[in-house]
Amino acid sequence: MKVAISGKGGVGKSTLAGTLSLLWAGAGRRVLAVDADPDANLASALGLPPELRARIRTIAQERGLIEERTGAKVRQFGQMFKLNPDVADIAERYAVRHAGVDLLVLGAVPHAAGGCACPESVLLKSLVLHLVLQPGDTVVLDMEAGIEHLGRGTAMGVDLMMAVVEPGRRSLETAHRVRQMAGDLGIRRFGVVLNKAAAPEEDAAWVAGEFGPGALLGVIPWDNRIAQADRDGCSLPDLAQPDLLAPFRKIQFAFDSLSQEKTK
């Protein structure tokens, strides 16, 4: 199953993407975590040590690879290039493994305001669309903040678009736009996770009223330990505190239920 995690900036997308990836890997799944945010932070959420971070090769900066696969020169306009480049070996060649999770960092893509027709964007979109999964495999995409990635179609081919929201109107407005544009891309499944909930029951009722109770996949209460883990550069599973992970496990279970529905 391919899951894209989106939402307004600062709502906790990377924390959720990293934690779910580690939980799935700990359950014996093969997990590919894809950092599709130009401001890449997923390595930190996964708790990668400095020596592994130093080995990360950002796909968007691999100029030779992009030009070889698309047939076009990087940062030159008015060219013809392949719209369906070969990406079969990229995850295997460029991913860095930690705690059972393979991390692939796409990196920044230069683009113009109404969408991008550059070779980098075409390669990245093809990579997401054509990743081939075996039964039980999971791909978790940590998308960039906002909705621009949906305008470029980078998330095409995912099975579930999930928007992370916090208890505020502006993050819900972004999530509504994410849901609409995901539908335009043909992504039929959409869910919301509420993060930083100071009053979990009250906040959850408000969010469920906005999106429908079936769309709310889980609630993560406000917890200072999450902020402390971020400051310390470690993942939440590294803390080994079951009560902290309990809300994430509920979200994991909700995703797994959707995955089982997909295979029926």
Residue 158 host element (H or E): none
The reported pLDDT for the residue numbered 67 is 73
Q: What is the pLDDT of residues 199-250, one digit of tens each?
A: 999 999 999 999 998 999 999 999 999 999 999 989 999 999 999 999 999 9
Q: Kindly report the number of other CB atoms within 10 A of residue 73's CB atom.
A: 13
Least confident of 92-106, 138-152, 210-224: 138-152
Which comes out higher in pLDDT, residue 151 or 31? 31
Mean pLDDT of the chain: 84
The torsion defined by the Cα of 211, 31, 248 and 198, in degrees rounded to 10, comes to -60
- Give burial (CB, 10 Å; 0-12/13-18/19+) of 238: middle
Domain ranges in the chain are: 2-263
Q: What is the pLDDT of residues 177-206, one digit of tens each?
A: 999 988 888 888 999 999 999 999 999 999
Which comes out higher in pLDDT, residue 55 or 90? 55
The reported pLDDT for the residue numbered 120 is 66
Least confident of 76-90, 120-134, 144-158: 76-90
In DSSP terms, 31 is beta-bridged to: 101, 138
- The token pair that represents 12 in the structure block: 């906790």
| Angle (CA) 206 160 83, round 5° | 135
CATH H-level, domain 2-263: superfamily: P-loop containing nucleotide triphosphate hydrolases (3.40.50.300)
